[in-house]
């Protein structure tokens, strides 16, 4: 489903978005490892012809890892991150996920507004160990968080 608001388009990522997503992640200091393998569960934001935001989900059975929330510096502070999180949570529900986890080094105060709660890193499901994020792309000092999703 594509959503358009004021010149901004939020839509599922396409294969040709890969390079733009990687450039955005690098510009915002986020890991790119593993992102291309999960491109099918990424949302992107465009303003005009520019890719200005992204967010992704890595699916592992009934759990997912929310990753790569990034908004270009020029588009920051206009609600784009909030819109990307909201669309990603909708996608998580459509994928039938029961819970969503994330790792963050800079935004632990941002995600509780969406229902994410900090958890000990050791409480992450073992299925997430397949993720590049947990295999070293994200530092061991990152805060782990969990969101329980409503049953569908």
- The domain spans of the chain are 3-148
Burial (Cβ within 10 Å: 0-12, 13-18, ≥19) of residue 11: middle
Q: Does the pLDDT of residue 139 top 80, yes or no?
A: no
**CATH number for the domain formed by residue range(s) 3-148:** 3.40.630.30
* Contact call for residues 66 and 107 (beta carbons, < 8 A): no
Q: Does the pLDDT of residue 3 top 70, yes or no?
A: no
Render pLDDT for 5-53 as a digit per residue (tens, 0 to 9). Answer: 557 899 999 999 999 999 999 999 999 999 999 999 999 999 988 999 9
CA-derived radius of gyration, the chain: 14
* Contact call for residues 143 and 106 (beta carbons, < 8 A): no
Contacts of 65 (CB under 8 A, 6+ apart): 57, 58, 100, 101, 102, 103, 128, 131, 133, 134
| Model-wide pTM > 0.85 | yes
């Amino acid at each position: 489903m594509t959503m358009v608001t004021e010149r901004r388009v939020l839509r599922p990522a396409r294969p040709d978005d890969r390079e733009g997503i990687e450039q955005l992640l690098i510009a915002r200091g986020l890991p790119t490892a593993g992102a291309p393998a999960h491109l099918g569960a990424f949302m992107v934001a465009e303003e005009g012809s520019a890719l200005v935001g992204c967010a992704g989900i890595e699916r592992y059975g009934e759990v997912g890892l929310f990753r790569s929330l990034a908004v270009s510096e020029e588009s920051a502070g206009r609600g784009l991150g909030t819109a990307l999180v909201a669309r990603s949570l909708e996608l998580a529900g459509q994928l039938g996920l029961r819970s969503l986890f994330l790792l963050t080094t800079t935004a632990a105060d941002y995600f509780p507004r969406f229902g994410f709660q900090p958890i000990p890193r050791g409480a992450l499901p073992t299925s997430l160990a397949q993720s590049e994020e947990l295999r070293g792309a994200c530092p061991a000092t990152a805060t782990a968080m969990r969101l329980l999703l409503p049953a569908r």
